[in-house]
Structure 1
Amino acid sequence: MCPPVKRNTVYWLNIFKHAGQIWLESSAFAQAGSLAFFTLFSIAPVMIVIVSVIGVFYGQEAAEGQIVMQLQDTIGKEAAETVQAAVSRSSLKGGGLVATVAGVLAMLVGATTVFGQMQNALNAIWTVVPKPSRNSIMLFLRKRLTSLTIVLAVGFVMLVSLSLSVGLRILLHNVQGWLPWYDVAFSGLELALSILVAALLFGTIFKVLPDVVLSWRDVALGSLLTAVLFTIGRSLIAMYLSYTATASTYGAAGSLVLLLLWVNYSSLILLYGAAFTKAHLLARGLSVQPRNVAVRVRREIVEE
């Protein structure tokens, strides 16, 4: 009989292995490339919505400054400047009522496009598809509404992250005089806060977007793993992009290519986290339960 430690090790190794199989079978690389492409058209509207949410509490300029700072730490200065320029050009200018309403609707459609594609990618992980329906307009509107919910959730999570970060800075500044290793303590707490906030964001995506019935318990471990992998991967991706001289290779389009590569690699991490969530669910003896608007699909290889 295997010792408990060895048995648990084999259990978790099997989950990671099964997650890798699910990840590959769902065409993760093609899905990640598709997400990177759609991000080009959605990044500016998404940032505008997020800045608007945070700006209600901190002001528009302060919110935009914080977002740009976060982007620089994540994707690099050049790519962040590209996003900032796109946001500036996409911002709604003064105009008539019809032009303003049309601009808002176009911005919301653009902001939800990438999350609609992300929903398709997650459905591929869970092997579910929306039910064939004649009412395709209602299906489209439902998907857009779900995607808009995620966009607003991203803004809310970033607002919470910013508020907690400010509170953490104030707290540690007040105890700086008698707290040893102040810099180490601040860096450690900020890292832990970053992982927890990312886990909350990934958990929301894993629970809301796919057409599968999941509880917070079902997505908790997978979202935490994704947050840790994302935090580690963010540094590794930044190192890789800095050493491969990608920006200089593509000249004027270098910053755009950097953004595409970063989104592509990050999407692979996101999809593996979703695959791990599914593998962990199945390892616990549970089954995949589609929502009432979706059905399961099964892939078969037929030899004739």
Structure 2
Amino acid sequence: MRIKHKLTSFWSLIKKTYFNWNRNDPWARSATIAYYALFSLPSLLIIVVSVAGYFFGQEAVQGRITTQISEFIGVESARAIEGMIANAALNDSSTLALIFGFAFLIFGATGVFFQLKAAMNNIWNVAAKRNTVKRIIINRIISLGMVFVLGLLMLISLVISAILAALNDYLASIAPVITTFMLDLLNFLISFIIITSLFAAIFKWLPDVKLRWKTTYLGAMLTTVLFLLAEYIIGFYFGQSNPGSVYGGASSVVLILLWVYYTCLIVFFGAEFTVQYALHKKDRVEPNEYAEPAIYRELELLERKKGQLIDEKRLLDTLQSYSEEDESDSSKSSK
């Protein structure tokens, strides 16, 4: 009975999650973030490659990223991204050019997380109190931190891959039959942990709410399951139908946009599940010192809209009175 009750509760959470997820219009928000991601991707990858490449070499890290991306959206798109990294790299020019180049690199890399933060706040129904210069800088720093988290996770992934390669040689000499199965299982578990950690960091740090890690990780685990499932489905879909073929030379860009678009839909669903789970468990979730419940902002906007409507009505009444006076004058002159 306890298992049945938990399954019923979980199904109820999934239904609430879906209805609220759909109500928040994830389609438009995912399209917006996909657009920003296209311009942020070169800068973001440059920083990730630089962080992880400091220890393993940039060519090794770049090759790993290309291999991973090619599994999702094909070799051509992976090569296009590789070209983005090469073209966005800072060369050894003047000091002033390097400073400006680095500044634009940071601004570009944090753009997608900046927009993702706004979407997360909308899901949690919170809004920033004031967009001061200080808060904008803090948001950019948080977004930059997420970029470095990506670099750190890539570094961890490379370290583990090196360990697994050594373990593979050892197991092959002892039990060659189980080597492949063991390594596939280890790779899956490691990928699951790394991706879950990334989603947990996004759910924990991006929205302007105070949230427990336990709640965050549960939502991140569901998001990872959906992401890995979608990875297979999207990879199969791209491989069989090739949706970017009709766009000719722009097919690589279209596939990148589609990949980010579908990924954002999954991330938003996981974030909405985290919200519903927190409500179900009656966790204490409140805005941080920089935010407030969105209803206050909505009431403020309604008051402004009310004032605008009053002004518009006053203007219409004035124009109508002018029209009535003109009609009266014209009728008098005709008599």
TM-score by length of 1: 0.94
| CA contact 2:33–2:116 (8 Å) conserved in 1 | yes
The counterpart of 1:63, out of the listed 14, 36, 61, is 61
Instruction: Find 1:123's aligned residue among 100, 109, 121.
Output: 121
Q: Secondary structure at the match of 2:37?
A: helix
The structure with the largest helix share of the pair is: 2
Residues 71-220 of structure 1 aligned to structure 2 (within 5 Å): 71-133=69-131, 136-179=132-175, 180-220=177-217
Q: CA deviation at 1:287?
A: 4.1
For these two proteins, the number of residue pairs brought into alignment is 297
**AA at the equivalent of 1:231:** L
Measured against aligned partners, the alpha-carbon deviations of 1:20-60 in whole angstroms (never above 9, x if no partner) come to: 12211221111111110001110000000000001110112
| 1:14 maps to which of 7, 12, 26 | 12
State how 1:241-260 maps to structure 2 within 5 Å: 241-260=238-257
Q: 1:178 Cα shift?
A: 2.7
Greater Cα offset, 222-231 or 45-54: 222-231
Equivalent AA in structure 1 for residue 287 of structure 2: P
Match of 2:319 in 1: none
Partner of 1:25: 23
Deviations 1:65-114 (A, max 9, x none): 12212221233211111111111111111211111000000000000000
Per the TM alignment, residue 246 of structure 1 is displaced from its structure 2 partner at its CA by: 1.4
CA distance in 2, matches of 1:241, 1:129: 37
Alignment of 1:261 with 2:258, yes or no, is: yes
Shift of 1:273: 0.7
> Displacement, 1:237?
0.6
- Alignment partners' CA distance in 2, 1:5 and 1:146: 40
Partner secondary structure for residue 287 of structure 2: coil
Q: Distance in 2 between matches of 1:50 and 1:27?
A: 31
- The answer (yes or no) to whether the contact 1:51–1:60 under 8 Å persists in 2 is yes
Q: Does 1:274 align with 2:271?
A: yes
Is the CA contact 1:71–1:80 (under 8 Å) kept in the aligned structure 2? yes
Distance 2:99 2:268 in 1: 35
1:247 offset after TM fit, Å? 2.4
Q: Aligned AA for 1:211? A: D
2:330 counterpart residue number: none
Aligned position for 1:235: 232
Per the alignment, residue 47 of structure 1 pairs with: 45
Name the SS for the 1:295 alignment partner: strand
- Aligned 8 A contact 1:230 1:269 in 2: yes
Please tell me whether the aligned partners of residues 126 and 288 of structure 1 are also in contact (alpha carbons under 8 angstroms).
Answer: no
The farther-off stretch of 284-293 and 192-201 is 284-293
User: Is contact 2:72–2:234 with CA below 8 Å preserved after alignment?
Assistant: no
What is the alpha-carbon distance in structure 2 between the residues aligned to residue 101 and residue 272 of structure 1? 39
Q: Give the distance between the partners of 1:84 and 1:159, measured in 2 at CA.
A: 18
TM-score (normalizing by structure 2): 0.85
Is 1:297 the counterpart of 2:294? The answer is yes
Q: Give the CA deviation at 1:140.
A: 1.3
Structure with higher Rg: it is 2
Superposed CA offset, 1:136-172 (max 9, x none): 2112111101100000011001111111122122112
Classify the secondary structure of the residue corresponding to 2:19: helix
Helix, strand or coil at the partner of 2:292:
strand
CA displacement at 1:242 relative to structure 2: 2.1
Segments of 4+ moved more than 4 angstroms: none
- Rounded to whole Å, the distance in 2 between the matches of 1:181 and 1:170 is 15
Rounded Cα–Cα distance in structure 2 between residues aligned with 1:152 and 1:75: 24
**Contact 2:33–2:115 (8 Å) recurs in 1:** yes
Secondary structure, counterpart of 1:246 in structure 2:
coil
SS in structure 2 at match of 1:181: helix
